[in-house]
Structure 1
Amino acid sequence: MIPKTGLSTKDFIAPDSFDFRFSRLFRVGTTWGAASYLQILASELSDKLLAELLEMDAEMTITLHIQTVDQAAAVKSIKAKVSDIDKMKVEEQKKAARSGYDMDILPPDLVTYSNDAKTLLEDLQSRNERMFLLTFLVVNMAPTRRELDNDLFTVSGIVQKYNCTLKRLDFQQEDGFLSSLPLGHNGIEIKRGMTTSSTAIFVPFMTQELRMDGEAVYYGLNALSHNVIMANRKKLKNPNGLFLGVPGSGKSFAAKRELVNVFLATKDRIIVVDPMGEYSPLIRRLGGQVIEIAPDSPHHINPMDIDL
């Protein structure tokens, strides 16, 4: 009998303490952590950004808070931005006229902002795009500060390839950590405006999964999502299967693994035609019958007795 201590399961699972006294770090028990946000500088992003982050061999939580914006309010806001940029262009042209140089020469950043704003306005008005506010949070955890710094350096290198920057949430570590929990709460006011097509890049749920119930057998991992593949070939449109691969790639191992899984999970009859005799030890281990057919063996097959 376990004596009553007044403790619940949560007391054993939850960490001993939370320490948010640091400005750029925090501690959960003996584990170090850091909460950051992704500053998106690029006007267009690739879906490979999120894929590379998720493939990292590190303890990391990526949280996306996406808030929709009223279409009329979004169009009004972008129109105001376009007007402000046009006003800035007029001011630059006046300066150019007073200085005596070409009025068409404008600062490159101003030209870029003007083109991006007009493209965004056109997308919202005529291309069935909507406006969203995105908060992209990244929380890294590691047993030591050195490992945490290495993970943060790796993440920063990945996002920089896509014209983004990983910014630490200074003096907002607790808010960042709480916002990364699956509570639907966003305590970080840093948001980035995104259109529908740009936001869709951050939704990594486009893979096809195969996970059947019942007498399903394990066939490996999905190359994209890394989820297990469980299938019952008898229920598929084509139940036949082949193991293909170069020598030494594991074809025999995969076949034996499926054989064992079928033996343990189903009541199917298993018949192995084995010219090389490599399955005999496994069949004997499973309590099966091994029938040797050879010119000098007592067993034979009479084709006239086969019931077709």
Structure 2
Amino acid sequence: MERMKLKLETPIAIAEKLLSACETLVTQDCRYAKQDLASINDIVGSIKNYAVKMENESIAWRRRILSVIDTTKSRVVELIEATLQLSNLDLVAYYVFKGEKSASIPATSRVQNDIMDPAFSDVQKLLGEYVIWLQSDNAREGRMYAETFEKRWSSFVYPHRQVHLETSLEKVNELSLKVIEGFSTNAASKLFEQEIREASLATFGGLGAAGLSASLLTSVLPTTLEDLLALGLCSAGGLLAVSKFPARRQEMIDKVKRTADVLAREVEEAMQKDLSEAIENMESFVKNISQPYRDTAQQRLEKLLELQDEISNVDKQLQTLRIEIQNLHVS
């Protein structure tokens, strides 16, 4: 009976050693599979760091572009202040005597040709470079992600899915460019002209040709501004009209500031949307290229876990056999 037990326990002992070796290998492979899956998830999660980097770099772009708009606003305001002056009677006469049929004044030409056109050309150029930066940075980063997966898990086998970087990463709606393209400097200069006309006519139109002519004649004489205005106020209501002139000038300045601020806000919001779209494209791209690797790692881990369960079951069976062998004398 003892010899029989020894003979039966020998293959059980060999089986246990083989099973232990298998368990060691499977446990090791299971640990590697878990590490692979965690590493893949970490790489996918690192897109958040890329998004933060892009957000920080985009701030510098926004500051440059908004600075151009703000400088343009200041220059237009300075031109308004220089043009709408009580002592600027040549402009007053220009509008009072020629009225609506008059040609554009030099200030109008200057606001478009010297201030707005160059500024908006610079803004358009910067926004074009901004969009190119979003596209090129996305494409470069996307290739780095793809190369990381391919080099680190080259042993993984899965059906290759071609991802076109041109469409998935370089696609940006260019909303910021559309905003600035929708702004017409010609229309803005015409509005500037109209505001100058209305401010001048509303203030000096009621003074009458005689009173204004007297003022113009007096302007060539060695007199003070108070004397000049006193002549201009010879008509009824002149004092009230002139007293409201600073307020009308300020209204025009406020309109220019509001228009510039609205444009700046629209440009900034559009730039943020372009950035968000670029980041979303990158997130989608990384998710797509990582999915086969993640699926492979997950499937491999699941198979290894199944093997661990099988090894555990076999080990229980061996233990049962060993007990049965030990109990042979009982039966």
TM (norm. structure 2) is 0.20
> Per chain length, whose mean CA-contact separation is higher, i.e. which structure has more relative contact order (CA < 8 Å, sep 6+)?
2
